[in-house]
Structure 1
Amino acid sequence: MTMQVPPSKTHQFCLNWSPYVRLVHDYRDPHVGAPYQSPAVPDHALHYFKQGSGWYRNDGQVHAISPGLVVLVRPGTPYEFQFEPDPPPHMLNTHFDLVEMEDSHHPFPYPAVQRRIPPPAIPADPAVDGYLPSVQQLRDSLVYEQTFYRLHAVGTLPGLAYELTRKALLLELLRMLHDNQRVSPHYVTPVHREMLAASVRFMQDRLEAPLTVADIVAHVHVSRALLARCFRNAYGTSPARYLAQLRIEKAKTELTYGARPIKEIAVATGFASVQHFTRVFHRLTGMPPATFRRRHDA
């Protein structure tokens, strides 16, 4: 019996995919205690967190790092992350071009110049076929890790057979991400994404106020349970912790570039007391605010 696969827009979108794997890195000793910043990457990156805690900023959003979190960084997108000292962080990183290009073979990293031919990117618009979210919490992280280590094992081996194996395994990782966001309980529907965006905007506009989760629930007109589930699925954390991360990010900017006393910064970032601010800051950054300021002054 002969079966013919019907054409689709998604099929047309990925018809020319022939990825080139540029780097496969089992990263067991990342930066701890200080943010790692990249202004932009010239290719795609998959940053998978096998172990560790902290925060990751991508696409203007801050996400809590937890085991099984994977971040898709698109070409030209800046990112920043920071680990807490315990547990010891462990990342599995892959850099690739979605379509093999003339300069895909350039040794990693590229020089600090724009690529002559910008690489095609995985769609960032949920309305476009082939879309993948920037952040996902994996339903089956073990299978992802096993596939990564198979890719890692052939990462630098020469020859056509190994090159085809690398392409196939990278496409398998992308297939897992599509399946995960489409059918797993971690998938966030377009309607819920709009609700999440409204929630985050509401938080960002009121960082100086004593905002509560009940205030956010009332603003977006959903139940507390639904809000918590959507935040956990989309960002890997609770609304309250996400709000705390936003407050601390604002405080870090004040501490780095401003001269206001720490007590005033605590008030300006919505904390009832400098003691509460110090406790939360230390928990999320691994150091008290005064130490953070001294290090950045140096």
Structure 2
Amino acid sequence: MNLNEYTSGKITLNQYAHRLAHNGASFYVHYWGVMPKHYDNMFHKHSFFEVCFVVDGEGEYIEEGCTYPIQKDMIFFSRPDVLHQISSKDGLSLLYVAFELIESESNEEWIKIMDDVRNCNEIIIDVNNETPALLWKSLLIQSTKSEQAFFEEMIPNLAYSLILSLVQTFSSRSFNKHQHHTPKTASSLFNIAKLYIKDNLSQPLRLTDAAGHLHISGRHLSRIFVSEVGVSYSEFVQNERIQRAATLLKTTDLSIKDISEETGFKNIHYFTRVFTSTMGISPGRFRSIYIDSKATTYTKGQVQKQVR
């Protein structure tokens, strides 16, 4: 990424992304920076947070008597009122942002989070292809495209996402204390499993395959189906196959053999046996009833005709 091509982007960012507020947090951004070649500066400190992203090059970040090597794809974090210095013999390509929480416009939870961030222990982190790096690069690229629709809306939203990502990067423990991460509930896993089944009815759909898709155990998935719909996983899959087959019989000219393959049955004989057992009527008879009577719905042993 050649920063010389994006230096104009910092002007846009400083114009459109200096006050960012959402969900109980309000941040004031003092400045956004793009520095194609940064060498040395004097020891200094800020009254706010500053985060730098090394796009290219090597150097050192020094604070409180400690020297940290920095290189491409690292971000380093300067906290308020801490003396620090950046040094590089050959020059660093840097992106940087300086911000602080507006406490009068933020809730107590965010004030506590930022207090914890101020005391973080890890101030140098490699973010190669991780969220902060991707967001920062995306924000910089978008900042040079002022002609695009929704430009003024996109820039603050991307900027706010980046600030949150940076705060989270340097405060994972702090966020865990104050943010409640709700695991996927059984209902949400069940809904994902249903979609997986409906979209792959022509496949074997083994329990282990579906469980692997959801990154859970087969036993866990079995319990979810019994809990949510009162039937086993295999019963649910078979019922979905039959319902899909019924729809195809009613709405297409596919042969019964093709429908059996489309709905994942081993062969036409097995399909016919299961369909007849479930619906109380053979596939061929089921199709003919709908054609002859123009019925629209069917339940086992009962046909309902259209009302004209």
TM-score, normalized by length of structure 1?
0.39
More helix by share: 2
Between structure 1 and structure 2, the one with the greater Rg is 2
TM-score, normalized by length of structure 2?
0.38
More strand by share: 2
